[in-house]
Structure 1
Amino acid sequence: MRDSVPRAVIWPPLEFRDPARLELALTHASFDGRRNNERYELLGDAALSLAVAQELLARLPDASEGELSRRRAWVVSQPVLAAAAVELDLAARARIGAGVDRAHLPARMLASLYEAVLGAIQEDRGHEAVAAFVRATLRGPLETACAERFELDPKQELQEWAQARSLGLPRYVLLAEDGSPHTRSFQVAVEVAGARHPAAWGRTRKEAERFAAREALLRVAATPATDGDAVR
C-alpha cells in the first residue's frame, strides 16, 4: 500500500472500524517497547492457521491430515508471509525504530507484520474478514498448495527467500558441460546478491539449476542469523 491510501485501509475494500487497531498492528517493538504489535501477532498467527486450514479442507476434500498439514505449513511459512507483506508494502507503513533499516527488513519481521495485521482484522472485523483477506493476499501460495502434485520448486523457494530480504533475483551461472551429446551433464552455480553458492551437476541445465538452488537453500539454512535477521 502507498502513503496516499487512507490509514484506516489496509487492502481495498477492507476498512477498519477502529483505525487505531491497524496502527497498533503496524507498530513494531523497536518503535515502542510497551505498546506494540506482539499481541496482535499472536492472535494473527492463530487466525491465519485456521483460515488456511479451512481453505485447504474446502479445496482438497480427499487429502489426508498429514497432507493438509504439510501444505498448510508451507502456506504459513515465513518466506511466503514475508513476500505477502512486501506486496502489501507493509514496511513503508510500519512504525519501526530509527535503528532498523526500513528498506531491508528481515523476513521474520515482515512475516510478523503480516500476522499482526491479521490479528487486528480478527479483532476489528471478525474471522470472515480474516479469511477473505487471506484468500486475496495469499492467492498464489494457496493455488500452489492445492495443486494435485504439491512439490515446491527449490528455485521458487530461493527466489522468495531472496526477495523477502530485498536481495534481488537469484542468478544462475553455467560453469561446465560434460559428456557426449546423448549423455551430457551440466554444472550450474547460483548467485544471490553477488555471493556464489556451491555448484551442482544435473542431467539437464534446468535440473542443475534446481539442484544448485537446493544447495543454496541448505547453505543459508545452516548460516547463523545476522543481527538484521534477529530483529522481530
Structure 2
Amino acid sequence: MATGAAPPARARKGTRPRPDLAVLEEQVGHRFRDRSLLIRALTHVSAASGSGGSYQRLEFLGDRVLGLAVADGLFAALPDADEGDLSRRLSGLVRRESCAAVATAWNVGPHLKLGLGEVHGGGRRNAAILADACEAILGAVFLDAGYDAAKAVIDRAFAAGEETGGTRSRDPKSALQEWAQARGLAPPTYVVAERSGPDHAPRFYIEARLAGLAPGLGVGGSKRLAEQEAARLLLVREGVWENEPEAGQD
C-alpha cells in the first residue's frame, strides 16, 4: 500500500466542521506563534476543564492592555485635549459594546468553544461573551508578541485616534445595525410615520425601531436622510454616540 499523508479528518455526522483559526487570525491581524493562547482565548468557562482552561484570565489581562493602548493612542492623537476629554473618549472606546462590536467584526462567534447549554442559548451571538472573548484575544496577542503587537491590533480595531471618541461606523444606519448585532438583537427596521409637504419638497418622518427600545424619530427631505437621522438619534439616546451632528448632514 502506498504511503503518504493521511487524508484530512472528517467531521462526525451531525457536527459542524471546526472553523479555520487562520481565518480568524487574518481578521484580527495577528498570526500567533503559540496558537494555544488563541484557543484558550476562545474557550468559555462552560467548555473548559477548569477555570484555568477558560478565557477568564486572558480577559482580565486584555482589558488592561486595551485600556493602556487606547489611552496611549488618544494621548498621542489629541495633544490639546484635557484629562476630562481624554477620559470621556477612553470610556467611549473601551466600553463593553465596543468590544462586542469588534468581536462581531472579527467573526469570533463561530470559533468560540462553548458548552452545549451556551450553544443552544445563542452564546455565539451573546454580546457579553463576545466582549469577553475580544478582551481575551487581546490578552493572548500581548502574551504571544508583546505590547507593540497588541497595540497594533487595537489601533486597527478600535480606531483609538478618532476624533469622535465613540464607536462610529461608516454611517448611523450601519453603526446601529452593528450595535444591535453586538447586543444579540434583530436588525433595526425603519417605518415611515408621516409624510408631509408637496411632491417637490417632501418631508419624511421615519422611526428607527429596535426590539425592547423606544424608536428614534428622524426627519429629513428624503427617506434616506430621515432614516440616517432616526438611527443617529437612537444611538445618541442610548449613549453610543455623542449628541453632535453628522458631517454633511442637511
Q: TM-score, normalised by structure 1?
A: 0.73
> Structure 2: how far apart are the matches of 1:199 and 1:8?
35
Q: How far did residue 83 of structure 1 move?
A: 1.9
What are the superposed Cα offsets for residues 120-153 of structure 1, whole Å, 9 maximum, x if unpaired?
Answer: 1222221111101112223xx435x325x97968
Q: How far did residue 43 of structure 1 move?
A: 0.6
Moved more, 38-47 or 103-112: 103-112
What are the superposed Cα offsets for residues 188-229 of structure 1, whole Å, 9 maximum, x if unpaired?
Answer: 222347x784463647564675356645885899xxxxxxxx
In structure 1, the partner of 2:245 is none
SS of match in other structure, 1:30: helix
In structure 2, the partner of 1:14 is 30
Query: Among 105, 110, 125, which residue is 2:125 paired with?
Result: 105
In structure 1, the partner of 2:150 is 130
- Mapping of residues 77-116 of structure 1, within 5 Å: 77-101=95-119, 104-116=124-136
Instruction: Work out which structure has the larger RCO, using CA pairs closer than 8 Å and 6 or more positions apart in sequence.
Output: 1
What are the superposed Cα offsets for residues 135-190 of structure 1, whole Å, 9 maximum, x if unpaired?
Answer: 2223xx435x325x979686555322212245454222111135789x98643222
> Structure 2: how far apart are the matches of 1:93 and 1:151?
24
> Structure 2: how far apart are the matches of 1:74 and 1:220?
9
Gaps of 5+ in 1: 222-232
| Identical aligned residues as a percent | 33
- Mapping of residues 21-36 of structure 1, within 5 Å: 21-32=37-48, 33-35=50-52, 36=54
Paired residue total:
215
> Structure 2: how far apart are the matches of 1:19 and 1:151?
29
Contact 1:190 1:213 in 2 (8 A): no
> Structure 2: how far apart are the matches of 1:79 and 1:13?
21
In structure 2, the partner of 1:210 is 229
SS of match in other structure, 1:100: helix
Code of the residue aligned with 2:40 in structure 1: it is L
Q: How far did residue 39 of structure 1 move?
A: 1.0
SS of match in other structure, 1:49: helix
Query: Among 81, 103, 106, which residue is 1:63 paired with?
Result: 81
Q: TM-score, normalised by structure 2?
A: 0.68
User: Does the C-alpha gap of structure 1 residues 26 and 10 become closer, same or farther in structure 2, counting only changes over 3 Å?
Assistant: farther
> Structure 1: how far apart are the matches of 2:217 and 2:24?
49
Code of the residue aligned with 1:200 in structure 2: it is L
> Structure 1: how far apart are the matches of 2:92 and 2:21?
31
> Structure 1: how far apart are the matches of 2:147 and 2:213?
44
Contact 1:78 1:111 in 2 (8 A): yes
Code of the residue aligned with 2:36 in structure 1: it is A
Code of the residue aligned with 1:124 in structure 2: it is D
What are the superposed Cα offsets for residues 78-109 of structure 1, whole Å, 9 maximum, x if unpaired?
Answer: 22221211222211212111112357522111
Contact 1:82 1:108 in 2 (8 A): yes
Contact 1:8 1:22 in 2 (8 A): no
Code of the residue aligned with 2:109 in structure 1: it is A
